[in-house]
Amino acid sequence: MTPSFQRQDAELQILCALPGRAHDLARLGLLAAPGRAPVVTVIGKYNHGKSRLLNELIGMAAFSVADRRETLVLGERLHAGVCWLDAPGLDADVDAADDGHALQAAWLKSDIRLFVHAAKEGELDAAERSLLAALRSDAQRSKRQTLLVLTQVDQLVDEAQQQKVMQAIALQTAAMALHAVSSTRYRQGVDAGKRLLLERSGIPALQSALKRALEGVAEARWHEAMLLFNEIQAELLQLQAARQSALQGLCHEQVQQRLRFDTDLIAVLDKVAESMRAVLAAPGPDHSLTPDSFANQFKLTPGKLERNRLQVAYSTACIEINAVLLKHGATELPLAQQTSVRSLDSVMVAVMGVYVKYRRDLGEIFCQVPGRERLLHEFSRYYEASVDRVALARSVAAAGQALRAADQALAAHVRCTPSREAP
Ligand SMILES: Nc1nc2c(ncn2[C@@H]2O[C@H](COP(=O)(O)OP(=O)(O)OP(=O)(O)O)[C@@H](O)[C@H]2O)c(=O)[nH]1
Ligand SMILES: [Mg+2]
């Protein structure tokens, strides 16, 4: 497997364990890609002059500019060792998919964001404020920088109005540095070779600020890579611990449940064996084996009385054992063993059979070691095949699998430990 496939494979394993970290994993993957140029993205509402600003910053008409909603998909241009991203304008009323692209660009790919706001619009609106707040809090966490750019300032009537707008925005942004620019003035300054216009355009000052920000990208990337790596690792460790304890809990329950069943089953078999011994110890001949004749079919014979006594003892034993099976949810046969005759679908019938029991049978079944061992073995087997017990076993298997997935994700994550790129 090539290193990039290995990384994808590892990312997939981590993603399966932590689906909520999809974005961070994608970002971490980008941060790990060697030799990636720093990425500068414009972000802001449509028609606020984002594409034109990028064109002026890089000195070429790389992105399409128009007096309407123009940029609809993410545009990308590599220039002077920087990747410039032109994002569609944000405006929830127009097309949420475009907004999605712009945000994806801002959050996923970019190292530096130019948050663009057109001066003629005055203050930032609610959507801009909340986006800027999110970008700033991300900057605190990831050290990715956002530069606030007030565009198209030439459209304001005079300097005083510009100051008014800037003061209003300063109040909204807790005095975040605001770069006032005019692409129009800059172009005029370049075309006419007028230095004053160039300076008044604010673009050279923005370029200097951008240059400083770009110088910090390598350090910021390293910080962010370690931050994301450590956060994901902590979450994976947490997940692993939670899954470990879930599995332990289920295994404990499985063992305890079985212990409770074994204890109850042994107790009832002991009790039944004792009662049966008393029944079988009756003195005198065993009349139960003497068949009834036609002549005394309606008479109470010693044979009938004895068979009746054995039958009552046997039924009592079965009822007592069945009570234990019932308590532990193991009275019905597993689905695969069920027949069309409902009354035969019980564990008792399956284990004890339907033949008539005589003294010898009862002694062998309940009082002798092989019989008792068989009962223990058979009832336990059916207990393990009972619905709840099978469900518990499945939960244990699933919890084991989930733990293995967390283990693998953690190992995969460790294989992706960031390494610092040589400057
Ligand atoms: N007067 C003036 N107009 C500008 C300036 N910057 C851009 N414009 C004009 O504003 C309009 C919109 O500019 P774009 O750069 O296409 O705006 P955008 O933000 O990229 O718009 P979308 O791609 O739709 O999101 C165009 O007509 C530009 O020529 C400026 O500094 N001054
Ligand atoms: Mg545009």
Smallest CA separation from ligand 1 atom 14, residue: 49
Smallest CA separation from ligand 1 atom 12, residue: 47
Ligand nearest to the CA of 116: 1
Ligand 1: which of 41, 47, 48, 50 to mutate, judged by most atoms within 8 Å of the beta carbon?
A: 47
Sequence-separated (6 or more) residues with CB below 8 Å from residue 149: 53, 114, 115, 116, 117, 178, 179, 181, 206
pLDDT value of position 423 = 57
Smallest CA separation from ligand 1 atom 6, residue: 49
- What distances in angstroms separate CA 280 from CA 135, 210, 380, one per listed residue? 87, 100, 26
pLDDT value of position 166 = 96
User: CA 101 to CA 99: how far, in whole Å?
Assistant: 5
Task: Return the percent helix, strand and coil in the chain, to nearest 5.
Answer: 65, 10, 25
**C-alpha of residue 46 to centroid of ligand 1, in Å:** 8
First to last CA, the chain: 28
pLDDT value of position 284 = 83
Smallest CA separation from ligand 1 atom 7, residue: 49
- Buried b / exposed e along 266-291 (16+ C-beta atoms within 10 A): eebbeebbeebeebbeeeeeeebeee
Smallest CA separation from ligand 1 atom 9, residue: 49
**C-alpha of residue 250 to centroid of ligand 2, in Å:** 57
Hey, what domains does the chain have and what are their CATH numbers? 37-215 (3.40.50.300), 246-407 (no CATH)
Counting from 1 in the atom list of ligand 1, the atom nearest the Cα of 151 is 31
Ligand nearest to the CA of 153: 1
**C-alpha of residue 87 to centroid of ligand 2, in Å:** 7
Counting from 1 in the atom list of ligand 1, the atom nearest the Cα of 46 is 25
**Ion ligand 2 contact residues with beta carbon within 5 A:** 50-51, 70-71
Question: For the chain, what is the radius of gyration of the CA atoms?
Answer: 41
Counting from 1 in the atom list of ligand 1, the atom nearest the Cα of 55 is 15
User: CA 423 to CA 413: how far, in whole Å?
Assistant: 25
**C-alpha of residue 45 to centroid of ligand 2, in Å:** 9
Pocket of ligand 1 (CB under 6 A): 46-52, 65-67, 69-71, 88-89, 151-152, 154-155, 182-184
**C-alpha of residue 76 to centroid of ligand 1, in Å:** 18
Q: What is the DSSP letter of 107?
A: I
Smallest CA separation from ligand 1 atom 27, residue: 67
Strands of 112-118's sheet in order across:
75-79, 82-86, 39-44, 112-118, 145-151, 178-180
pLDDT value of position 422 = 60
Q: Which residues pair with 44 in a beta bridge?
A: 116
**And the tokens for 23?**
């974005």
**C-alpha of residue 334 to centroid of ligand 2, in Å:** 67
Alpha helices in 36-123 (DSSP H): 50-58, 96-104
State pLDDT tens for residues 53-72. Answer: 999 999 999 898 887 777 77
pLDDT value of position 296 = 87
Is the pTM higher than 0.75? The answer reads: yes
Ligand 1: which of 41, 42, 45, 52 to mutate, judged by most atoms within 8 Å of the beta carbon?
A: 52
Among the listed residues 324, 304, 309, 323, the one whose alpha carbon sits nearest the alpha carbon of residue 276: 309
Q: What is the DSSP letter of 358?
A: -
pLDDT value of position 415 = 93
**And the tokens for 87?**
């994002």
**C-alpha of residue 50 to centroid of ligand 1, in Å:** 6
Smallest CA separation from ligand 1 atom 8, residue: 49
**C-alpha of residue 383 to centroid of ligand 1, in Å:** 76
Instruction: Point out the residues of the chain with pLDDT beneath 50.
Output: none
**C-alpha of residue 192 to centroid of ligand 2, in Å:** 25
Residues in the chain: 423
